[in-house]
Amino acid sequence: MAAPRVSIQTEDFSVEAEIAALRQQNAGVGAVCSFIGTVRDRNDGASVSAMELEHYPGMTERSIEGMIDEAFRRFDILGARVVHRVGPLQPLDQIVLVVVTSAHRGTSFQACEFLMDYLKTQAPFWKKEQTPEGARWVDARVSDDAALARWGIQASNA
């Protein structure tokens, strides 16, 4: 049985293990592209000492699954995997992993960027940042009209 395409979890992930698991699903893989996002110590000009990420279980997974389905429709990819952490996180912690496999590198790069642009602009996550001024809730989605236009996606968080 193949590993799930989407995991929302509190625990850290092994980039090596995740890539190896996706690669072994298809001997036709000639390219693997990955993106690893980490927690920064600054956001919107403010120092961030910690953050907590929340989601709606079920809804978030379905949303990301839908975008992976769209990536399969748009690009000639062989596999895709998204791991996203929630809960309390510290600067330098890994927060997100996107891995895409295909026969050729260009396709993997495009699909990986497509999925990451979706995650940053549309995926339903919310975060609370700890700053010197206290805690603040911020929408985890960022406005990036250029990224959305590149893929023909309409903003849903306007």
Q: Per residue, what are the HEC states of 12-53?
A: CCCHHHHHHHHHCCCCCCCEEEEEEEECCCEECCEECCEEEE
Please say whether the beta carbons of 104 and 31 come within 8 A: yes
Torsion on CA atoms 8, 13, 17, 19, rounded to nearest 10: 60
Residues 44-60: what's their mean pLDDT? 91
**Cα angle 102-104-110, degrees, rounded to a multiple of 5:** 75
At 89, is the pLDDT very low, low, confident or very high (cuts 50, 70, 90)? very high
Taking residue 41's Cβ as centre, other Cβ atoms within 10 Å add up to: 12
Sign of the dihedral defined by the CA atoms of residues 104, 106, 112, 115, in that order: negative
Between 135 and 65, residue with greater pLDDT: 65
Residues 127-155: what's their mean pLDDT? 77
Q: Is the pTM of this model over 0.85?
A: yes
Between 147 and 12, residue with greater pLDDT: 12
pLDDT at 158: 45
- Alpha-carbon distance 145 to 158, whole Å? 10
80's tokens: 């895709």
pLDDT at 144: 65
> What CATH number has the domain spanning 10-148?
3.90.1170.40
Residue-range domain boundaries for the chain = 10-148
At 122, is the pLDDT very low, low, confident or very high (cuts 50, 70, 90)? confident
**Cα angle 104-73-139, degrees, rounded to a multiple of 5:** 100
Name every residue whose Cβ is closer than 8 Å to that of residue 93 and which is 6 or more positions away in sequence.
Answer: 12, 38, 39, 85
Length of the chain: 158
- Alpha-carbon distance 111 to 138, whole Å? 27
Backbone angles phi, psi at 11, to 5 degrees: -75, 155
